[in-house]
Amino acid sequence: MADEALFLLLHNEMVSGVYKSAEQGEVENGRCITKLENMGFRVGQGLIERFTKDTARFKDELDIMKFICKDFWTTVFKKQIDNLRTNHQGIYVLQDNKFRLLTQMSAGKQYLEHASKLTNFNIDVP
Amino acid sequence: MSRPAHGRPEYHKINKDLFVLTYGALVAQLCKDYEKDEDVNKYLDKMGYGIGTRLVEDFLARSCVGRCHSYSEITDIIAQVAFKMYLGITPSVTCNNSSRNEFSLILDKNPLVEFVEELPAGRSSLCYCNLLCGIIRGALEMVHLAADVTFLQDRLKGDSVTEIGITFLKKLDEKKYRRKK
């Protein structure tokens, strides 16, 4: 097990590093978000490979989403997803009321913009 | 940005794979962004420095270590308390010179390289774990100790062990101390 404080600081530095080294216009056209998503995608891929090594094949999309909300989220963030909604047409909304990557930030509105940068990292889970 | 903990703080552990894979993704991204190994190494060191300056507060709050009286004591604490607390490993410490300001941390196990088989082609001088050097340097500077921290040996480069060298420089004058970004 590694310590959470170290990971949170690493994550913060990564996000601010990507934004600091962004060139003119990159922040606006979303290139920074793409970079973070790509890193998150890579991490998600690696994690899923390790976690599903011995699991049975998933029956359908809903099965996959249940796995992500329960097993995957618990292993990574030590809690389950609080709410899962779907329109049964391929769109799923996962709601986490106490997202670990953001709990260290204060609840004031001024940090809302920065908070969204932090969430982009882990969005892409295949 | 952080809000202070209320009541008894809980010290959370996270999934180690998440941390190791995140670090790997970071290094991979940096290798894409920078052509030269030296630039990647420098960037990792700078990032580590930023982390270290903040991590040391967390460390001092949780470990309750007393005031140290020698460089050797400090290095022992880094190896036996800090590394243990944050990475779950305990490197061994050796002193490299008679004036007792140069030390080495020998890492038997390095969790950061768990999924790394070898350095990418054309990246032979990449210091994959250079973040660690920056973290140690940043943490020491926040307690008014200037030090040079570099990798002396690296298993990923073919050496038999991974060795981090810490050279303590002249103690920073507390009154003139300015926090560097």
Could you tell me which chain B residue has the CA closest to the CA of A10?
B51
Per-residue confidence at B17, pLDDT binned at 50, 70, 90?
A: confident
DSSP H helical segments within B95-162, as ranges?
130-142
Q: Residue B157 corresponds to which tokens in the numbers above?
A: 């480069």
Q: Give the start-end residues of each E strand in chain B.
A: 13-14, 92-95, 102-107, 145-153, 162-171
Encode pLDDT of A55-73 as tens digits.
777 777 778 888 888 888 8
Q: Residue A32 corresponds to which tokens in the numbers above?
A: 């920074």
pLDDT at residue A100 tops 80: no
Per-residue confidence at A105, pLDDT binned at 50, 70, 90?
A: low
pLDDT at residue B55 tops 60: yes
Domain boundaries, chain B: 16-115+125-168
Domain boundaries, chain A: 1-119
- Residue B23 has a pLDDT of 93
Q: Residue B112 corresponds to which tokens in the numbers above?
A: 């950061």
Per-residue confidence at A29, pLDDT binned at 50, 70, 90?
A: low
pLDDT at residue B80 tops 80: yes
Residues 6+ apart with CB under 8 A from B13: A1, A2, A3, A4
With beta carbons less than 8 A apart as the criterion, state whether B68 and B79 touch. no
Residues 6+ apart with CB under 8 A from A85: A92, A93, A95
Encode pLDDT of B87-144 as tens digits.
999 999 999 887 888 999 999 889 999 888 888 888 888 999 999 999 999 999 999 9
CA torsion, ordered A125, A97, A69, A121, to nearest 10 deg: 10
Could you tell me which chain B residue has the CA closest to the CA of A75?
B15
- Residue B171 has a pLDDT of 66
Smallest CA–CA distance, residue A74 to chain B, in Å, is 10
pLDDT at residue A114 tops 70: no
What are the chain A neighbours of B43 within 8 Å (beta carbons)?
Answer: 17
Fold of B16-115+125-168: Muramoyl-pentapeptide Carboxypeptidase; domain 2 (3.30.1380)
pLDDT at residue B148 tops 90: yes
Choices 3.30.1380.20, 3.40.50.80, 3.30.1050.10, 1.10.10.10: CATH for A1-119:
3.30.1380.20
- Residue A124 has a pLDDT of 41
Please report, as a single letter, which amino acid is at residue B67: R
* CB pair distance less than 8 Å for B1 and A106: yes
Q: Does B88 touch chain A (CB under 8 A)?
A: yes
